Amino acid sequence: MKIEERREKDVVIVDLSGEVDFYNSSKVREKFINLVKQKRKAILINLGEVTYIDSSGLATLIELMQKLNGYGGKLKLTGLNQSVRNIFEVSKLIDVFSIYEEEEEALKTYNR
């Protein structure tokens, strides 16, 4: 599992790769908690290199979204491959998150 952070203007982009599961979702959660402590308002998570996500990984994303919503922040996801998308669909979370095919498309929506 790998976590990288970069910025595009006011948007924090977090690139995740590998498996987001019970064994490493705590690393992801720690990264997100730090962003929340900084009161980041715009976070885009690129899941393009994620090969698998389990319920603990999904719970981490839900927690981040709830914390961001609490102070007016926005969470968006991009780059879901078909297997990860299927997990979101089966768990009925596909419509809960703002999901975009392309990073550029998601970035444009933060300015609206």
- Top CATH class, 2-106: alpha beta
What are the boundaries of each domain within the chain?
Answer: 2-106
Q: What is the mean pLDDT of each run of 10 residues along the chain (112 residues)?
A: 94 96 93 94 97 96 96 96 96 96 94 66
DSSP state of 61: H
* Amino acid 112: pLDDT: 60
Query: What is the β-pairing status of strands 11-20 and 2-8?
Result: antiparallel
Q: Is 5 helix (H, G, I), strand (E, B) or coil?
A: strand
Question: Is 0.85 topped by the overall pTM?
Answer: yes
Q: Using an 8 Å Cβ cutoff, are 53 and 20 in contact? A: yes
Coarse DSSP helix, strand, coil percentages of the chain, rounded to the nearest 5 percent: 40, 35, 25
Calculate what percentage of the chain has a pLDDT beyond 90: 96
